Each structure stands twice: as structure tokens, then as C-alpha cells.
Amino acid sequence: MPTKIVVLGAGIIGISSALAIQEAFDKDVQVTIIAENVSPNTTSDVAAGLIEPAEGKRAKEWGRLTINRIKEYINEGNLGAGEISGYWMQSKQEHPEWLDLMKNVRVLSNSEVTEIAKRPQHKFGLFYTTWYLEPTRYIDYCTKKIMENGAKIIQRKIENIDELGNDFDVIVNCTGLGSRVLFNDETIRPCRGQIVRVSCPQVRHFFMDDDYYTLINDNCLILGRTKDMDCWDLTIDKKSADKIIEGNCINIPSLSNAKIVSHNVGLRPWRTSVKLEKEIGKNNTPIIHNYGHGGNGISLHWGCALEVAQLVKSILV
């Protein structure tokens, strides 16, 4: 009889964890996903999808594995992913470890900084090539795979972990901010992010600085950013939207001709570090936590999913 595993959460972290478990065990497990929201209505769907792994050795490895996964996804001919090159203008010179995973990394010369800078704080700069992954298309791709493999998806809000009873052999928690209530983790906090999606075909490079970014997807640009800690408000704030547009237009003047496609808000599940570990819950049911990725969920998702699958193996084998 297959081992019954429940994954709580259907954003990119939950869906990819479910798929990695299935691929690790073939038909030896029955995966059920329970989530209040499913794509295209998850936090992941709001994300711009720029691949920019977090700091730290563990995160860098998760990022490396995720980039390999994205390359495979692209090589299959899927839409919603690709390489993009651009500029990161800095007020303080930074060269984080994860840049080792990028391509064509180059420190801008003083003359290039002078040419490209649009603000007094643009004192240093990098040019590099990374990848983007459009979450909604990718989640749909993964969801089709897990359903073909026999998974069940139940759209339901779990108010208390005791609601699961003894129905499952392993619980995988990918609820993000939901872990505040389900697992009493007050260290995870909302970081509100508001973006504007626009159409402006003449923009060919991404552009980031301390306060703003213009990122590239298949058919649009994503303008940001806001980082409002401990804010649960999901309504569109016009002042923030205007500031985002005006700030990015300074960096890239041609954006003044952009056509607005949509406004979106999401709550990043911010934590000082990702919680990816196992514990024993009530009734001796093993629980694997995989949450707290902040704004790096897209960049780290597959590396984390593979680690979840290994933790499940350590429990069952």
C-alpha cells in the first residue's frame, strides 16, 4: 500500500516539493496537496521570477540546482523562461556569492558607470546574465505532471494541523505565512510587495538599483519594488504604483511610453532563514517544513524540493 504524503500549500514551493517526492519514489507514494489558494491565486503567481539566489552556502546550492532545472525546462521548449542580461547599479559595491552561478558577470568600468548611471547613488555597477521563470506557467506545468502521476489537489483552508488526524504518514509544510498559525512560528512575517506589469518592447535589458527594478518576462516587463514589512494589506496602493513607475522611468526613460498591463500585490513569506527541516509532530507523524523563502522562492524552489524528497526518504527508507 502506498505511503500517504500530504503537502500543505500549492505555491511554487508546495507544487515543486510534491513533484520532487513523486519523482523520488515513483509509485510508492500517494501525494495529496491541500491548499487554501491554488494558481493563479498564490503568492508565487505575483513574483517577477528573476533568478537571484540568496546568500549562504546552502542557498547557493539550492540556487544551482534550481538553475539546472530551469535550463532543462527551457530545453524542453517551454514558454515562460529564458536568459536575460542587464545592469545592477549599486550605491555600495557588492559582489555576492551567488553571482558565481550567473553568466557573463562583469564589473562596469568608471566610464561605463558614468554613461549608465541615472542617479547620484549609482556609483558602482555590474552587468550579468541570469534567468527568469514565470511562476504561473511553471506551476501549471508542474501541476499537470503531478496530476498525471496520481496526485490529488484539495482546495481547503486548514485552520489547525489536528484536522489532518492520522490520515497521512508524512506532512510536508509549505504554507509560507500560514505557518504563523499552523505551527506557531511568529518569526515568519509578511513583506508586502507591489509591482506593475507593463508592455514596452524596446526595453531589452533588466535594470536594478537599491530602490527600483525593471525585469523582463516573455510578454511584459515587471516594475518594482516595495518592501513593506509586517504589512498584510493586499490592496493596490496608487501612491506606491505611481512611485514605482516614476522611479523606473528615471532609470529607463523609454518606459514613459509603456502601457500598463496590471497591478499586483503579494506578501513575501519573510524569515531570517529558510526553515527546511524535519520534526516529529503529534501522534508521531513526521513533519517536513519548507517555508520562509521571502522573495527567493522562485530562485530556490527546486533545490529545496529535492532536499524535501531526501528528507522524506530518510523517514521512509
H-helix or E-strand spanning residue 55: none
Structural domain contains residue 303: yes
Q: 3-state DSSP call for residue 127?
A: strand
CB atoms within 10 A of CB 273: 13
pLDDT band of residue 106 (cuts 50, 70, 90) is very high
Could you tell me if 57 and 206 lie in one domain?
no
Is pLDDT of 113 > 90? yes
**What pTM does this model have?**
0.96
Could you tell me if 183 and 197 lie in one domain?
no
Average pLDDT of the segment spanning 39-57:
95
From 255, 270, 285, the end of a domain falls on: 270
- Is residue 134 a contact partner of residue 82, using CB atoms and an 8 Å limit? no
Residue corresponding to grid cell 506593475:
196
Q: Which among 42, 48, 7 is positioned nearest to 196, based on CA atoms?
A: 48
Is pLDDT of 201 > 90? yes
Structural domain contains residue 239: yes
Average pLDDT of the segment spanning 286-297:
97
Is pLDDT of 26 > 90? no
Structural domain contains residue 78: no
**pLDDT number for residue 28:** 82
Could you tell me if 200 and 57 lie in one domain?
no
Cell of 57: 552556502
Could you tell me if 199 and 262 lie in one domain?
yes
* CATH number of 53's domain: 3.40.50.720
CA distance 225 to 248: 9
Residues of 154-191 as b/e, b for ≥16 C-beta within 10 angstroms?
Answer: eeeebeebeebeeebbbbbbbbbbbbbebbebeebbbb
**pLDDT number for residue 2:** 84
Could you tell me if 12 and 68 lie in one domain?
yes
What string of DSSP letters covers 56-115? Answer: SHHHHHHHHHHHHHHHHHHHTT-SSEEEEEEEEEESS----GGGGGSEEEEEPPHHHHHH
Q: 3-state DSSP call for residue 148?
A: helix
Q: In the chain, count of helices (H) and strands (E)?
A: 8, 15
**pLDDT number for residue 292:** 98
Q: For the chain, what percent of residues have pLDDT higher than 90? A: 95
pLDDT band of residue 281 (cuts 50, 70, 90) is confident
- Is residue 302 a contact partner of residue 20, using CB atoms and an 8 Å limit? yes
Could you tell me if 261 and 145 lie in one domain?
no
Residue 293 backbone phi and psi in degrees, to 5: -85, -5
Q: 3-state DSSP call for residue 239?
A: helix
Could you tell me if 221 and 307 lie in one domain?
no
* CATH number of 237's domain: 3.30.9.10
**pLDDT number for residue 236:** 97
Could you tell me if 182 and 240 lie in one domain?
no
**pLDDT number for residue 317:** 77
Q: Which residues are annotated as a binding site for D-dopa?
A: 213, 268, 295
**pLDDT number for residue 280:** 92
CA distance 135 to 38: 12
Average of per-residue pLDDT values in the chain: 96
From 235, 250, 270, the end of a domain falls on: 270
Q: What is the DSSP letter of 164?
A: G
**pLDDT number for residue 282:** 79
H-helix or E-strand spanning residue 218: none
Q: Which residues are annotated as a binding site for FAD?
A: 43-44, 48-50, 175
Could you tell me if 266 and 141 lie in one domain?
no
**pLDDT number for residue 145:** 97
Structural domain contains residue 209: yes
Cis peptide before 137 (omega within 30 of 0): no
Number of domains in the chain: 2
Could you tell me if 66 and 106 lie in one domain?
no
Is pLDDT of 283 > 90? no
Is pLDDT of 1 > 90? no
Q: Which residues are annotated as a binding site?
A: 43-44, 48-50, 175, 213, 268, 295
Could you tell me if 139 and 249 lie in one domain?
no
Domain holding 69, by residue range, is 3-73+134-188+272-316
Structural domain contains residue 57: yes
Could you tell me if 53 and 87 lie in one domain?
no
pLDDT tens digits, 214-260 = 999 999 999 999 999 999 999 999 999 999 999 999 999 999 999 99
